[in-house]
Structure 1
Amino acid sequence: MQTVARAPIDALRPRRLRRRKPLRFHSRLPGGRLFDVFEDRPLGGRVRAVRRLVLVLLWTLLCIPVQAALLALPGEARASFPRVYHRTLCWLLGIRVQVVGTPSRDRPVLFVSNHSSWLDIPVLGGLLAAPFVAKSEVGTWPVIRTVARLGRTVFVSRSRGATAQEATEMRARMAAGDSLILFPEGTSNDGTRVLPFRSPFFAIAEGARQVQPVSVVYDRLGGLPACRRDRPLFAWYGDMEIASHAWRLARRSGARVTVVFHEPFPPGLLPNRKALAAEAERIVSLGAERLRQNRPVVPIAPQRHPSAA
């Protein structure tokens, strides 16, 4: 066998390709988007979304005259029927609700919760027989304003001149035995955090027998733990349109929300409304943080302030 010496520079030169045509790799499996197992199925998702949204609209149109008639009649049906409406709404949208803890029955109760989406309304409305406290802009939205008014929602404005009158109305509601659901953040967020609670919202806490913090986190999507990338699918904030947001959500399956009812406590446990807002924010934030991390969570008890009466 004879060895042929080659110059070192020849080792760097590529050999002649034996293939006349280079290999070409496709970016996806054959069959296009309709049969691509790694992408969303647009046809199936659209059919699901159309079916869900049409059923939601029909269910809403059916319940509007029923609730209007119940408001004119005495009894507790006008307060309990909205729970049926909201619970069915969650079922039609494909959202499974998991509950940790027990809502307080020592009425009137001021339920304070974090707020990340319009979905918080049907989720909490299906669990609590209590009206919401909402910003006045909600009373101008088509269809939604009708549902909110039939649900006896208390509308509040951001003008300082009307604050005293609105607080008086809310105290009158609680004096009549109604509990209230309050979002002390004042707005919705991206679902990855809890915004600071505004202490002026707790000026009406003295009219309640109990204050109960509530943590709400959307922690499952497609049957798997929801990650940071999935938060905008549930959260509704900024300049998002509710119609397009509902459409994207209705296309998906396997969604779940976990609601934690923490330990209730009397307002007099803390010396003032600022301390009350800070303690409620601490409890809600801690519960929401554990849920976002997929850790087990139990109802959290409040800490007694040293200077409380």
Structure 2
Amino acid sequence: MSTWTGRAVPSETGPDALGWLRGLARGLPMGVIVFGGLLVLMLARLVERPLFGLHRPVTPWITVGVCRAALWVLGLTVVRRGAPMSCTGAMVANHTSWLDIFVLNSRTPLYFVSKSEVAGWPGIGWLARATGTLFIRRDPAEASAQTRIFEDRLRAGHRLLFFPEGTSTDGCRVLPFKTTLFQAFFAEGLRHRAQIQPVTLIYHAPRGADRDFYGWWGEMGFGANLLRMLAQPRHGHVEAIFGSPVAVDDFPNRKSLARHLETEVRDAHLPSER
């Protein structure tokens, strides 16, 4: 089956008996960590919400701890380069896999901006809603409402993150950024105070594996890909490179802003593409 690159999606083969054992040995504690953490988060939110409203001073740190623990059980090491932004605004990153959610959440408290369909996905959708993911519809008629939501979130101190490529990839390249979501930051209430930080994720495959080992694209199933990650004997590592934030005010329009951020992400990713 062809995808955005014209490449065929590799066929997924199930693990052998030892792989299944590794999958269980990792999957069971990961499940306890993730869904146990979700329960703790929801209980904490019962107290946090009436006291702080949209502000979340406690629960994002639960998410950070859960993601760090889950990656430790999986055996995937994250190497951070640069520092997450501390100013008001958002982050943009290239998108390789569902693992990006764990990698990025393990480095700093943040809130993802995701397409509305994700809210209905079993498991992932529940986790996304509980952790404060902002769901949007790519409908121009809803642009004004989405801008107001962005502004409310940023005023509450939320740091948003979205994937402008619009899809996950094989991890070997950065696709052109779609510019639609950038328009919201040019609203009068945001453009004079918001900054956006480029973040580059570079996955390094385990020894002997193909470069696209961590890629999740096309019609790859989540369950099969999750099992593949759990059954892998030894994992590689992922670099999370936090670039310099830029002020929205420094750009005349969404296209120039998106082009600059795309260049920053791609330039940081280039060593892995050679």
TM-score normalised per structure 1? 0.76
Q: Distance in 2 between matches of 1:167 and 1:85?
A: 30
2:173 match: secondary structure: coil
Which residue number in structure 2 is paired with residue 240 of structure 1?
220
TM-superposed CA distance for 1:81, in Å, is 1.2
Q: Deviation string for 1:221-253 (max 9, x for gaps)?
A: 13x7x6xx330x311111111000111122211
* Structure 1 residue runs without a partner (length 5+): 1-40, 294-309
Superposed structure 1 runs of 4+ greater than 6 Å apart: none
Tell me which structure has the larger Cα radius of gyration.
1
User: Relative to structure 2, which stretch is displaced further, 155-164 or 166-175?
Assistant: 155-164
The aligned amino acid for 1:42 is D
2:258 is aligned with 1:284? no
Which residue number in structure 2 is paired with residue 13 of structure 1?
none
Q: Deviation string for 1:274-295 (max 9, x for gaps)?
A: 10000000010111112344xx
Q: Distance in 1 between matches of 2:262 and 2:111?
A: 21
TM-superposed CA distance for 1:124, in Å, is 0.3
Which residue number in structure 2 is paired with residue 66 of structure 1?
40
2:112 to 132, 137, 152: 132
- 1:102-251 to structure 2, matched below 5 A, reads 102-106=83-87, 108-206=88-186, 207=190, 209-222=194-207, 229-231=210-212, 233-251=213-231
2:247 to 266, 279, 283: 266
Q: Distance in 1 between matches of 2:47 and 2:174?
A: 39
The aligned amino acid for 1:219 is H
Change (3 A) 1:210 1:159: closer
TM-superposed CA distance for 1:142, in Å, is 0.9
Q: Superposition RMSD on alpha carbons, in Å?
A: 1.9
Question: How many equivalent residue pairs?
Answer: 248
Q: Distance in 2 between matches of 1:77 and 1:260?
A: 25
Q: Distance in 2 between matches of 1:255 and 1:198?
A: 30
Structure showing the higher helix proportion among its residues: 2
Which residue number in structure 2 is paired with residue 94 of structure 1?
75
Percentage identity across paired residues of the two chains: 30
The aligned amino acid for 2:200 is S
- 1:47-62 to structure 2, matched below 5 A, reads 47-62=21-36
TM-score normalised per structure 2? 0.85
2:111 match: secondary structure: coil
